[in-house]
Structure 1
Amino acid sequence: MADAKVDAPPLRLEDLAGYLAAGCRPRSEFKVGAEHEKFGFRQATLRPIPYEGSDGVEALLKGLMRFGWKGDYEARDGGETLIALSRNGASISLEPGGQFELSGAPLATMHDICCETSQHLNETRAIADELGIGFLGLGFSPIWRVDEVPVMPKGRYKIMRDYMPEVGTRGLDMMFRTCTVQANLDFASEADMVKKFRVSLALQPVATALFANSPFTEGKPNGWLSARGAVWTDVDADRTGLLEFVFEDGFGFETYARYALDVPMYFAMRNGRYVDLAGRSFRRFMAGELAELPGERAGMKDWGDHLTTLFPEVRLKTYLEMRGADSGPQSSLCALPALWTGVLYDDAALEAAWDLCKAWTMQDKLQLRVDAARQGLNAVVAGRTLQDVAKDMTAISREGLKRRNRLNGGMLDETVFLNPLLEVAESGVTPAERLLELYHGPWQGDVNRVFNLAY
């Protein structure tokens, strides 16, 4: 994974595809990783938290180190800056606006994931209470303007912040005002990856609707149920959206590598520092032709870093990332990995899920991505309401989890984590619509009341 000098052989397309293919593993070794982000705020003022200060993000990170988390630092002028924590395969990191993220370790069961999530939230609350900090699980900031959100001192975020306005209108919103919950899942072979990619990409709008939880912007309703989902429709067309080629014949690791190769770069990491390469060609980097890095070719570490700068609805690395859901209450943080595990880790469930969407045209899929964010489960695809599709999808996932039969100490299987989604699918009412009912009812138009729902 070392950087390559210009006299070293250049990376080839098959090397890049091989990096992705190295993720293939026996089904017996399949794990699930869960990630979630949340908005931190000062309880006394409801304002976002700056990095600096005795009650800032840095103080929160340092406080968590009493629980055995180790600091990860980034070199900066005059020293090093604490920008993340790690422990036992998990990490805590900062999104550009200070959104606090847990990237969980790869774990075997939903029971393990929910224990990990609960431990993280308990530890975080313990330190946050001392600092007067609260955390809110929503997909989009309900009251803050972009210019009110502090910028975290991480080199890649400055590069992105400068580049985003050149390629889309909502990039800064994405960086500073959104939070998500994600799930990472394994594949056994290229064919297994292809089937899982197609199913999860087509059905990602179902997750967007089930988890829709961002109806407010700057203190009032915004016309969307998932404002986070709406933001992603105009961030950077080169690296976001629905990847149509995934559904074409011949799709595989090499196809995705070719796509990623043609996405403009953000950066390369050298000596612990980010080198600004925004808009540069990875192909030219492979050939050793970048003026910013004379005498160097891209190495495999650079390729791995570059893959993290792609943001499609489902992202391929050495595993598949499900990226279509708003953050929400604690129950939803376990529900998302449960939903996708039930669908993707059982062969019969995977086939049944493909039957739900295989007849959808590309136009159906493209339109559904927007309609799910705006209308939630009231959206219609191929003559069916998204609520009906969601009922089928959650039922398929439930059966898949039942067949997995992973039990906890109380002899409960993983289907218990789907209960919040089964309720949403059955009622047709998304979390965002529940919030709007409160806004127009008991809250009497006061969006600040949403902070009473903090973790």
Structure 2
Amino acid sequence: MSEPLSNPVGGGAEPSAAVTEAEAEALVRGICFKTGPPRRLGVEVEWLVHELRTPWLPVTPERLEAAYAALRAVPLRSALTVEPGGQLELSSPPAASLTECVATVSADLAAVRTLLREDGLRLSGYGHDPWHPPRRFLHRPRYDAMEACLDRTGPAGRAMMCASASVQVCLDAGHEEPGALGHVRRWWLAHRLGPVLVASFANSPLAGGRPTGWRSTRQLRWEQIGAGRAGGPPLDADPRGAWARHVLDAPVMCVRRDGAPWEVPDGLTFREWIRSRGPRPPTRDDLDYHLTTLFPPVRPRGHLELRMIDAQPGDDGWRVPLAVTAALFDDPEAAETAYRAVKPLAERALDRPAPHNALWRDAARHGLADPELHEVAVACFTAALAALPRLGATTEITDAVTAYLDRYVLRGRCPADDLLDGPGGPGGARRRAHRRPHGTPHEKDTRP
């Protein structure tokens, strides 16, 4: 969803012939799950950009433009991109180890922070902006179309585009054989472990300076934009087939046109577009683009992209969800422990696919105050901590996970609770909630 700060390599795709329904399904099956033994790891860290000393005051677009122009000259190993609301995202190159991934992104973030600080700006780790309403910074045909499309389901789409930030962990899909590191098991585990990660790392209880009633308002916003755009497929024994069907039956966000406004069809699925061939026949390039407009909690892009974790507080808070997730997926013993731990949660997620079911909703609303999620989180963090030395993690990384386990998980808390309980600023919000002005109620538990 982001736009690169540097010029992309290469130009636009060559014109291609119309794609058939069978071709489209085969293409999705072939490109979205590239199997093999898990070897590589990546992370995408998104940040809100705030004033350094007065973060509750808005940053003008002109100041963001100037700062981002300067960032283009900074040599980084990670890809640095801008989100529609002006958030910054660093996407690591694929790493051969957790330690390599952490070292690369840490160095790049240090360089970015140094330059931003010179301009009086800072990177802020919140899953949802606690003070500012959504405001679009990038004005491009893609984001014009996205905004028009998402506005049909209410205001949540603009918040998702312009006021949210996350830690996205990227893992190899896994090999073909069954077992803890097989792609079928890893796909299933990603969806069942997802609510545990939501609850454990919830860090967005505020909007407009007031509590919303949810530990992860960011996750609430993603649910509210609807299952077609932000939902996953039903879980079955054939992830490739389930995902391919989901992609073809998902609504088309836009039909791109050279030199003309992009069309934003209402309710047209990609499968219907293929069959109707209107407003023009879709091509392979249109299918590739359609894949970039779907935002499920777990997105297969050759690898698996886990998208449900809120941005974390502090300069290095992002390391903990990266380390825990990597350990629970790439260490066979920890993966087996996590699989057994999350299996009892499945009964709470049978009514609808992720994230539009009761389990995901409870994770977003209650965090680790939910007793069952708390119990599973303790088991998973304990297993991850035991696995990290086997993955070659540094003492610094294992110490960070230990501190998080002690401070939050064992106590049934998450960073959102600090924001709700802390004095002054956005903290103390729980106390201020009792003095809420008329007309600013808690978020209601509405379904899209």
Query: TM-score with structure 2 length normalisation?
Result: 0.81
Distance 2:116 2:82 in 1: 15
Alignment partner, residue 122 of structure 1: 110
**1:16 equivalent in alignment to 2:16:** no
Once residues 335 and 272 of structure 1 are traced to their aligned partners in structure 2, the CA distance between those partners, rounded to angstroms, is 46
Could you say which structure has the higher strand fraction? 1
Alignment counterpart, residue 317 of structure 1, candidates 276, 284, 301: 301
Establish whether residue 63 from structure 1 lines up as the match of residue 44 from structure 2.
no
Q: How big is the shift at 1:310? A: 1.6
The change in CA–CA distance for 1:11 and 1:268 in structure 2 (over 3 A counts) is farther
Contact 2:24 2:287 survives alignment (8 Å): no
Give the match for residue 238 of structure 2. 251
The answer to whether 1:303 aligns with 2:287 is yes
Which of 178, 184, 193 is the matching residue for 2:183? 193
1:210 aligned partner? 200
Deviation at 1:240, TM superposition (A): 2.1
Deviation at 1:302, TM superposition (A): 3.1
Instruction: Give the corresponding residue for 2:159.
Output: 173
Shift of 1:264: 0.9
Of 332, 339, 342, the match for 2:327: 342
Percent identity over the alignment?
27
How far apart in 2 are the matches of 1:5 and 1:328? 44
Change (3 A) 1:275 1:342: same
Shift of 1:420: 4.2
State the match for 1:367 in structure 2.
Answer: 358
Structure 2: any 5+ residue segments left out of the alignment?
1-12, 351-356, 432-448
Q: Is the 8 A contact 2:216 2:364 kept in 1?
A: yes
* Correspondent of 2:212 among 222, 226, 232: 222
Closer, same or farther: CA 181–273 of 1 in aligned 2, 3 Å: farther
Instruction: Give, in angstroms, the shift of residue 407 of structure 1.
Output: 5.1
1:92 match: secondary structure = strand
Q: How many residues align?
A: 406
Residues 37 and 101 in structure 1, CA contact (< 8 A), matched pair in contact too:
yes
Give the residue type in structure 2 aligned to 1:230. Answer: L
Amino acid at match of 2:17: K
Corresponding position of 1:427: 411
Distance 1:355 1:62, change over 3 A: same
1:415 equivalent in alignment to 2:398 = yes
Gapped regions of structure 1 (runs ≥ 5): 69-86, 448-455
Could you list the per-position Cα deviations for residues 94-137 of structure 1 after superposition, in whole angstroms to 9, with x for gaps in the alignment? 22211111111111222222222222222222221232222211
Query: Which residue pairs with 1:33 in the alignment?
Result: 42
Amino acid at match of 1:359: P
- Tell whether the 8 Å contact from 1:368 to 1:379 is kept in structure 2 after alignment: no
Deviation string 1:44-84 (CA, Å, 9 cap, x unpaired) is 65433344x2x22x32222122223xxxxxxxxxxxxxxxx
Moved more, 41-50 or 438-447: 438-447
For 2:51, the aligned partner's letter is R
2:147 corresponds to which residue? 161
Q: What is the RMSD computed on CA atoms of the aligned residues? A: 3.0
Match of 2:168 in 1: 182
SS in 2 for 1:303: helix
* Partner of residue 80, structure 2: 92
Separation in 1 of the partners of 2:374 and 2:22? Answer: 50
Q: Residues 14-60 of structure 1: CA distance to partner in whole angstroms, max 9, x if unpaired?
A: 23211223x22344xx2111011111123465433344x2x22x322
After TM superposition, the score normalised by the length of structure 1 is 0.80
**Paired position in structure 2 for 1:452:** none
1:312 partner SS: coil
Could you tell me which amino acid in structure 1 is paired with residue 57 of structure 2? R
